[in-house]
Amino acid sequence: MLKIIFGTESGNAEMGAEDMVTALTEAGLEAVAVAMDVYDVEELADEEHIILMTSTYGEGELPMTAAPFYENLKTVSPDLKGVKFSAFGLGDSTYETYNQAIKSLMVLMTELGAEQVGEPGFHDAALPYSISDMAVCWANRQFIFA
Amino acid sequence: MFTHPEKQDKYFPWVDRLFRVNPYPWYDKARVEHPVYRMENGEIVLTRYHDVMKWLKAPLGTTHFGNGPWNNFDNTVLNVDPPEHTTLRRYSNKWFTPKLVNQYITIATELAENALDRYSDGRVMDAFYELAVVPPHATMCRALGVEDDDAGLIYRHFLTCTDALGHGVGRDDNDRATQSFDYLFERCAQYIKEKRQNPGVGPQGLVDDFLKLADEGKMTERTVLETMVLFYGSGSPNPATVIASGLNHFAREPEVFELYRTQPDERAAIINELTRLYPAEISMIRYATEDTEIGGIPVAKGTPIRSVIAAANRDPEFFENPHEFNHKRPPETSMNLTFGAGHHACAGQLISRSVIRAVFDAVANKATHIVSAGEAGLAHTDRVRGYLSLPLRIY
């Protein structure tokens, strides 16, 4: 099962994650969206393949629900060898810290031994494309048409 | 209130009636000759897209709506900056997620469709009240968890409050704004009192959640009240200007409405373009928190810096033929600043955008013709573009 673990500030990543689940499910894949603030990082080592999805807040900070996830992950520091992850970020390219939050998570996951699969996807709020369209399009490329 | 023309600023005659009705020729001149303009009183005025965008997002500024009646919002996201702003914003963000907004928005569709049905025989409708004020107000009330009656009254009071913003504000403007603030605060205080007396009864929403946060000591009762007034009062004015201007545009250029009606895939781009052309709040002030420079002009700490969003939205260096409607602009030069940017971007922008979409969709589903039936009633100041009426036949 693909688990999409999302961090959000204003609900946009949640919407993108849920729409991604719908698209993957319709394509016959088993997928579920879980909020970072309710996900237990101790379970991460048992996952086969997860999608991390988060927005960036303020000047490159992690959003409200992603910050505790990141801190717990650093503290628990599980061995993630054998765990695959893909990443999708929501940001705004007019900031120098464009998509910094998902990049921070990608670095930490890799340091803990997880293997990143595929190119990360980025939604850019400076362009007039909807988050859901971009997220679903990226998921299609990564998991359905691949 | 109009001051003598000789005493007015050459580039920004803020209280001139013609300037208030159509400030764009002045903006265009200032943008070319003094894109970073220092007024006699020391205020800096920005008109270029990139300067406005950069300054709105820069951490070097505090936002405050100045002294006067707008101090009523000193404990809200409007007048505080990070880190307090972040905390407050997060409390309200929870109530404006896309998921919840999709639930609130059904009331806007229902009210708009009901109004369109009532006027489907081609009678003259005040489209401003029926479509631009009532649906947005009801949608915001649903988010707040309060009754949605008296939409027009609430709109007019909040619009009166905005008369105390901008330049050329006289004592009369401040007095009227104070009276309207008093009305809105008393009304919201009554709603809060009823919620306190009957917890869990009636509509539930952001206000009920904020009262719990107050009980937990996470915010003050004053913050609950101010935040409620802010959202309750501003729920309709911002989307109302875009909706009214958009309907007016559809009436002037029927081919644009036809496009909206028949090409659902183009609707988001059409709304984005209407939003660019017709912002409700046309400028914002922030104060420099340290010495800096903008476009080569030194700016001392404490200087008020006015970002003219309406001018930035029509900067020809960013938007080709900026005064023209063109929903096919290249993606990288299509995003406007109507809802602000940075920490102080409009907290209700998602609900506003959704209600604009819901109303236009309702019109597209119910009607094939939008025809002007008279002059729109306008209430433009140098700071806010507002309407009072919009007679249309929609059938």
In B58-170, where does DSSP find H-type helix? Answer: 84-93, 98-104, 106-118, 127, 134-144, 151-162
Number of other CB atoms surrounding residue B72 within 10 Å: 22
| Residues of B whose CB is below 8 A from A130 | 268
Distance from CA of B288 to the nearest CA of A (A): 18
B328 touches A: beta carbon within 8 Å? no
Contact A52, A18 (CB under 8 A): no
Helix or strand holding residue A68 (H, E): helix A67-76
Q: Per-residue confidence of chain B (395 residues) as pLDDT tens digits?
A: 334 444 689 999 998 989 999 999 999 999 999 999 999 989 999 999 999 998 888 876 777 766 689 999 999 988 888 888 888 988 999 999 999 999 999 999 999 999 999 999 999 999 999 999 999 999 999 999 999 999 999 999 999 999 888 887 888 999 999 999 999 999 999 999 999 999 999 999 999 999 999 999 999 999 999 999 999 999 999 999 999 999 999 999 999 999 999 999 999 999 999 999 999 999 988 888 889 999 889 999 999 999 999 999 999 999 999 999 999 999 999 999 999 988 888 888 999 999 999 999 999 999 999 999 999 999 999 999 999 999 999 99
State pTM to two decimals: 0.92
- B268 and chain A: CB distance < 8 Å anywhere? yes
The answer to whether residues B325 and B249 touch, using CB atoms and an 8 Å cutoff, is yes
Which of A8, A9, A10, A18 has the highest number of chain B CBs within 10 A, making it the mutation to test binding with B? Answer: A10
What is the per-residue pLDDT for B378? 95
Strand ranges in A15-136 using DSSP code E only, listed in sequence order: 31-35, 49-55, 84-91, 115-116, 121-124
The answer to whether the CB atoms of B98 and A130 lie below 8 A apart is no
- The 3-state DSSP class for residue A75 equals helix
User: Within an 8 Å CB–CB cutoff, is residue A64 touching chain B?
Assistant: yes
CB B143 within 8 A of CB B231: yes
The set of residues, in sequence order, having a beta carbon less than 8 Å from that of B31 and lying 6+ positions away, is B47, B48, B311, B315
Instruction: Please measure the distance between the N-terminal and C-terminal CA atoms of chain B and give it in whole angstroms.
Output: 40
Look at strands B36-38 and B44-46 and give their pairing: antiparallel
Whose CA is closest to B35, among B54, B7, B16?
A: B54
| Residue A132, domain extent | 2-144
- Indicate whether A66 pLDDT > 80: yes
C-alpha to C-alpha distance for A90 and A39, rounded to whole angstroms: 20
Structure-block tokens of residue B134: 């009532």
Rg (CA), chain A: 14
- Per CB-CB distance under 8 Å, the chain A contacts of B93 are 9-11, 64
Nearest alpha carbon to residue B206 among B90, B110, B105, B108? B90
Which CATH number applies to B5-394: 1.10.630.10, 1.10.760.10, 1.20.1600.10, 3.40.50.2300? 1.10.630.10
Contact A131, A96 (CB under 8 A): no
DSSP structure class, residue A61: B
Q: Are A15 and B97 a contacting pair at CB < 8 A? A: yes
Residues B65/B78, Cβ–Cβ less than 8 Å: yes
Tell me the two tokens of residue B118.
């009532």
Asked if the Cβ–Cβ distance from B93 to A14 is below 8 Å, we say no
The distance of B193 to chain A (nearest Cα, Å) reads 29
Cα angle vertex B390, ends B388, B395, to 5°? 150
Q: Please report, for residues A74, B38, B54, B278, the alpha-carbon distance to residue B317 in angstroms, rounded to integers and kept in the order given.
A: 46, 21, 15, 19
Q: Using 50, 70 and 90 to split pLDDT, how confident is the model at A94?
A: confident
pLDDT recorded at residue A98: 93
CB within 8 Å: B57 and A95: yes
Choose the closest CB to B99 out of A14, A95, A126: A14
Q: What pLDDT is attached to residue B66?
A: 67
Compute the count of residue pairs across chains A and B with CB atoms less than 8 Å apart: 48
Domain boundaries, chain B: 5-394
What is residue B86's predicted lDDT score, i.e. its pLDDT? 86
CA distance linking residue B135 with residue B155, whole number of Å: 12
Which region holds residue B62: left if phi is over 0, alpha if psi is between -120 and 50, else beta? beta
Task: List, in order, residues 6 or more apart from A137 with CB less than 8 Å away.
Answer: none
Q: With a CB-CB cutoff of 8 Å, which residues 75-134 of chain A face chain B?
A: 94-95, 125-130
Chain A CA closest to residue B93: A10
Nearest C-alpha in A relative to B349: A10
Do A124 and A92 meet the contact criterion of CB atoms below 8 Å apart?
yes
Number of domains within chain A: 1
CATH of residue A121? 3.40.50.360
Angle at which helix B221-234 crosses helix B237-252, to 10 degrees, equals: 10
Determine the pLDDT at residue B35.
Answer: 96
Question: Is-contact A29 A144, C-beta < 8 A?
Answer: yes
Query: What's the confidence (pLDDT) of residue B12?
Result: 95
Say if CB A98 and CB A92 are below 8 A apart: yes
**CB-based contact B249:B256 (threshold 8 Å):** yes
- Cβ atoms B219, B192 nearer than 8 A: no
Q: Closest approach of chain B CAs to the CA of A18, in angstroms?
A: 10
Decide: B365 and B148 in contact? Cβ < 8 Å: no
Q: Is the link from the previous residue into B83 a cis peptide, with omega within 30 of 0?
A: yes
d(CA B303, CA B37): 12
- Residue A146 banded pLDDT, cuts 50, 70, 90: low
